[in-house]
Amino acid sequence: MEVVIPVEVGLSSLRRAHYDESSNNNELRLNLDCLSEVRDEATLRMARYQQKMAKYHNKRVTLKRFNLDNMVLREVSQATRDPTQGKLGPTWEGPYEVIHYSRRGSYYLKDLDDNPLPRPWNVEHLKKYYQ
């Protein structure tokens, strides 16, 4: 049977050589006392970042607008998609006529047979129809 003798490595780190338990405890208490200030600074930094990103985004976004009586195409959603056509089915359906502008980017439509659609559609799901 072979006996294994543990060998200690004599290399010490700077952190271990200058470790003082009382000053370490004082530093930990100080860090805990300043924790709310650190959280507040992080919250402010995150708010500044979000404001900067919102400003960048809003500078580059242009809102599409349609006038009444404009002809538009409506994007085919999962609810209105025909499952028999698969992925090669049409992605746009219409044309539809804009009959009412409700809120910012919300439009009521009617089809060519003058039947109004039951709910409004967001401008993100519409595009102008060119005849």
| Domain count along the chain | 2
Q: In this structure, are 26 and 50 located in the same domain? A: yes
Report the C-alpha gap between 52 and 62 in whole angstroms.
Answer: 18
Global pTM?
A: 0.54
- Are 44 and 83 members of one domain? no
Q: pLDDT digit string (tens) for 61-114?
A: 887 889 999 999 999 887 778 888 888 888 999 899 999 988 778 999 999 999
Q: Is the pLDDT of residue 128 over 90?
A: yes
Look up the CATH number of the domain holding residue 86: 2.30.30
What tens digit of pLDDT does each residue of 38-63 get?
A: 999 999 999 999 999 999 999 988 87
- Out of 5, 26, 60, a domain closes at 60
- Identify the residue with better confidence: 31 or 47: 47
Which one, of 68, 131, 65, lies nearest residue 97 by Cα?
68
Q: Is there a domain that residue 55 lies in?
A: yes
Is residue 31 included in any domain, yes or no? yes
Asked whether residue 23 is domain-assigned, the answer is yes
- pLDDT(116) > 90: yes
Instruction: Tell whether omega for the bond before 95 is within 30 degrees of 0, i.e. cis.
Output: yes
Q: Is residue 41 located within the same domain as residue 89? A: no
Percent helix / strand / coil, the chain, rounded to 5: 35, 20, 45
CA distance 66 to 105: 9
> Residue 120: its pLDDT value, please?
92
CA 33 → CA 26, 29, 30, 49, distances in Å? 11, 6, 5, 26
Residue 11 lies in a domain: no
Enclosing domain of residue 119: 71-128
Would you place residue 115 in the very low, low, confident or very high pLDDT band (cuts 50, 70, 90)? very high
Same domain membership, residue 76 and residue 40: no
Q: Collect all residues with Cβ–Cβ distance below 8 Å to 112 and sequence separation of at least 6.
A: 95, 96, 97
Say if residue 123 is in the same domain as residue 78: yes
In a domain, 8, yes or no: no
In a domain, 12, yes or no: no
Q: State residue 3's pLDDT score.
A: 80
User: Which H or E run contains 46?
Assistant: helix 35-60
* pLDDT value at residue 18: 80
